[in-house]
Amino acid sequence: MSAEKVYIRPITDADTEKIVTWRNQDFVRKNFIYQKLFTEEGHRDWLKNQVEPGHVAQFIICVEGLGEIGSVYLRDIDREKGTAEYGAFIGEEKALGCGYGTQAARLILDYGFGTLGLECIFLRLLEKNSGARRSYEKAGFRRIENKREIVNLEQGACGVLFMEIDRSAWETRDAD
């Protein structure tokens, strides 16, 4: 795990160009189920219709001494059921594999369970994305056994795994 301090800040419209650039890089895009290219117009629509009304809580991942490196978010927030779907990406290649994603995941999980009062946060990931899976496991997510899908993407058929963490697991985890 890196020693640099990782923090998250709320996303703003001023982040649009950066988000579009990061998200459209092949090393980011090919690890998502939704692989279409992002546009500034589409991202602004996302901010207006998803983030502003509170359906999504999205943040920029920042590292002291390195700057902004990616984004982390909770989407499809269901306050009645107490659930949301987790998502994240590191858009700066030099920041991959440094532990920043794990630290950002812990920050947004703390936000989701503490501030939003969620009961369960889940995620989907492409089976071949072993780096992300290790990061999610370090953050506290556990695989939902016997739950798997196949999706057809640009690179062909890909397995999708499901992971989750609930409030009790988050509150009783061993913080390292």
pLDDT score for 80: 95
What is the mean predicted confidence (pLDDT) over 26-39?
Answer: 84
**What is the percent of the chain where pLDDT is above 90?**
73
Reply yes or no on whether the pLDDT at 20 is more than 60: yes
Give SS3 for 155.
Answer: coil
Please, are residues 65 and 99 in contact by the beta-carbon 8 Å criterion? no
Reply yes or no on whether the pLDDT at 175 is more than 80: no
What is the mean predicted confidence (pLDDT) over 153-161?
Answer: 81
Q: Residues 84, 87, 89, CA angle at the centre, nearest 5°?
A: 165
